[in-house]
A and B are shown apart, each in its own frame.
Chain A
Amino acid sequence: MFLLSFVPDAVLHLVVVGILFTGVGIYALSFFTRFIPPLIPYSGIVRIVGTVLIVCGIYFYGSYSTEMSWRNKVAELEEKVKISEAKSKTANVEIQTVYRDKVKVVKETQVVIQERIKEVEKRIDSQCTIDTEVIKILNDAAARKVK
């Protein structure tokens, strides 16, 4: 059945219908052979061949329908995947925009706060002197222990 997926739909349909109608044709022909004396001995064989082809044709037609049903399901799924990929890209653009906007707000706030520090720099520096141990403690806390 897997190998059938390489055969185009139209060719498959043509082959299946061809077998079925050839079978019907040969079977019908078997009735006329009895009127043609040289063909009378072959009448039974022709009928058997016709019957076998009809049975095979019906069987193949069933297989063809199943194959088509699977191909339709695959096409449907491929369409859904295509839509989901488009949705995924749109979602990414939206997420990226929201992320950039939020980061921009944080950076702008940083600038404002750094400006505020500069404004009161002299006043707070005159009121407080930082011990060197404080810097060490701060840096130890900021250092990344696990990579």
Chain B
Amino acid sequence: MKLLLIVLVLLFTGCSTPVKRSFPDVPEELKVACPDLIVQQQTTKLSEVISVVVGNYGQYQECQIKVDTWIEWHKQQKQIFESVK
């Protein structure tokens, strides 16, 4: 039984691929999650409300760029990965 196991292990190690491929690295900035939206402090001034809304628009746009970049990263890396056959 032991001999059979040793033979099987030897045979199956023959099936392992000798070429190792590592998962591509992702730029550090893309690993950071999008922040929560800015919360408005109690105020009666429209300028303060607009300022926060504009800040949130900015955050959304940054997050949008991040998602677009992730899509582009995946597309390019997939293309590179599939070029190796």
Could you tell me which A residues sit within 8 Å of B by CB distance?
1-3, 5, 74, 77-78, 80-81, 84-85, 87-89, 91-92, 95-96, 98-100, 102-103, 106-107, 109-110, 113-114, 117-118, 120-121, 124-125, 127-132, 134-135, 138-139, 142-144
Contact = CB atoms under 8 A, between A and B. Distances in A.
17 contacts: A2-B13, A80-B85, A81-B19, A89-B25, A91-B80, A95-B27, A95-B73, A99-B29, A100-B29, A107-B58, A114-B54, A114-B55, A132-B42, A135-B41, A138-B52, A142-B40, A144-B37
A106 B61 contact: yes
A74 B18 contact: yes
A107 B54 CA distance: 11
A109 B58 contact: yes
Given A77-B84, A106-B62, A142-B56, A95 B19 contact: no
A99 B66 contact: yes
A47 B58 CA distance: 90
B76 A91 contact: yes
A143 B36 CA distance: 8
A99 to B, nearest CB: 5
B2 interface: no
A81 B24 CA distance: 11
B65 interface: yes
Contacts of A84: 80-81, 83-84
Quick one: which of A5, A117, A132 has the most chain B CB within 10 A?
A117
Interface in B1-26: 10-11, 13-14, 18-22, 24-26
Given A81-B84, A134-B49, A142-B56, 6 more contacts: A2-B13, A95-B76, A100-B29, A103-B29, A110-B58, A142-B37
A102 B65 contact: yes
Contacts of A80: 83-85
Per CB-CB distance, the 6 closest pairs between chain A and chain B, nearest first, are A2-B14, A142-B37, A96-B27, A110-B58, A121-B47, A88-B24
A71 B41 CA distance: 68
Contacts of B85: 80
